[in-house]
Amino acid sequence: MSDFLTDTVKSFGAVLEGCSNLLFLVRDKDLQGEAYNDLVKLDAEAESVKEVLIKAGNEYGANVMLAFQCAADSLAEELLMWLALKADDPEKAWAHLILAQEAAGGVVRTKISLGESQRRIERLLLLEKLLFPSQIFMSIGSVVHGADCSICGADYDQCSHIAGQPYGGYFCTMIPGEIEPDHVALVNEPADKRCRVAFFSDEGKKRNRMTWKLGSEDLAERTLEGILMAATGRWARVVFTLEMLQGSSDSILDKPLTSGLR
C-alpha cells in the first residue's frame, strides 16, 4: 500500500471512529447533524481519491475507497435514523435503518477489512428488533425483458461481471429493461425490507402498522397498503433508472399502492 493510500486510510478511519461515538439515541442531535455532514464530506473525498486511483490503474485502492464510502453511508444512515426517531418520524427512521444495513453489507462485499464489519451488521439487525415492531414484507413478481451490466454496459447475461461484486471501485449492478408486473406476495425474506405492509384495514379505517395509529381515512376490509418496490442505493445488486422511477402515475415503483390481496 502506498504512503498516500495509507495516510488516506488513517485519516478516513479517524473520521469513522469519531462519528461512531454518536450512534446512540441520547447523543446531542446537533452533534449528530455535524457528524452526518462530516460523513457526507468523507464520501465526496473518497470519490475524488477513487477517481485518482482508477486513473492510476490501482483497482485495490479504488475498492478500499468504495469500502470507506459504504462505511460512511452506513454510519450516516444510522445517524439519520436516530434523528428521525427524535423527530417522531418512525417511517423515515425505518427506511434509514434498512439503508444502513444495506451499506454495511456493501462493506463486507468489497472484501476490504474496515474493523468489525460483520459485527456492525449484527448490531443493526439487533436495533431493528429492539426499536421497531415486526414487519410484514411485500415482494412483487415481474417479468423483466433483459438487463444491462452497469460495469461494461453489455447485456448482463452475456458479460462476465457478477451483480453485487466490486470492480475497480464500483459495484456491478443489473439495470433492468422493460418490467411487466405479474403478482404481489407477502414474504418473510424480502429483497428490500423497505417493501412492507404500511397500512391495513381495521374496522374499515386505515391503521398504520408501524405506529398503530388509526386514521380517519376509509380502507376496504381485508385490504393492505404498502411499498411494493423501492429505489436502490449504491450497494444494490439491481438498480432502477431515473426514468423508471419517474414513470406514469400507475407505476409500480417506489409508490405506496393497494396490493389487492384478499
pLDDT of the chain along its 262 residues, tens only?
A: 688 899 999 999 999 999 999 999 999 999 999 999 999 999 999 999 999 999 999 999 999 999 999 999 999 999 999 999 999 999 999 999 999 999 999 999 999 988 888 999 999 999 999 999 999 998 877 787 889 999 999 999 999 999 999 999 999 999 888 777 777 788 888 888 988 999 999 989 999 999 999 999 898 888 888 887 776 677 777 776 655 545 433 444 433 333 333 2
How far, in Å, CA of 59 to CA of 62, rounded? 5
Cell numbers representing residue 81 in the block: 435514523
Going 81 to 126 to 195 to 42, the CA torsion angle's sign is positive
Nearest to 116 by CA among 126, 127, 107: 107
pLDDT of residue 251: 43
Task: Give the pLDDT score at 240.
Answer: 64
| Cβ–Cβ under 8 Å, residues 126 and 185 | no
pLDDT at 241: 61
Closest CA to 225 of 189, 254, 196, 250: 196
Q: How far apart are the first and last CA of the chain?
A: 59
The C-alpha torsion from 168 through 162 and 165 to 119, rounded to 10°, is -170
Length of the chain: 262
Which residues neighbour 24 within 8 Å (Cβ) at sequence distance 6 or greater?
82
Is 246 buried (19+), middle (13-18) or exposed (0-12) by CB count in 10 A? exposed
| CA atoms of 222 and 203, how far apart (whole Å) | 10
The DSSP H or E segment spanning 94 is: helix 90-110
Which domains, from first to last, does the chain contain? 3-131 (1.20.58), 137-258 (no CATH)
pLDDT at 252: 41
Tell the residue number behind the cell numbers 418520524, with chain if given.
Answer: 89
Cα-Cα-Cα-Cα dihedral of 94, 96, 102, 106, to 10°?
-160
The separation between CA 45 and the C-alpha centre of its own chain, rounded to angstroms, equals 21
Q: How far is 54 from 261, CA to CA, in rounded Å? A: 49
**pTM exceeds cut of 0.85:** yes
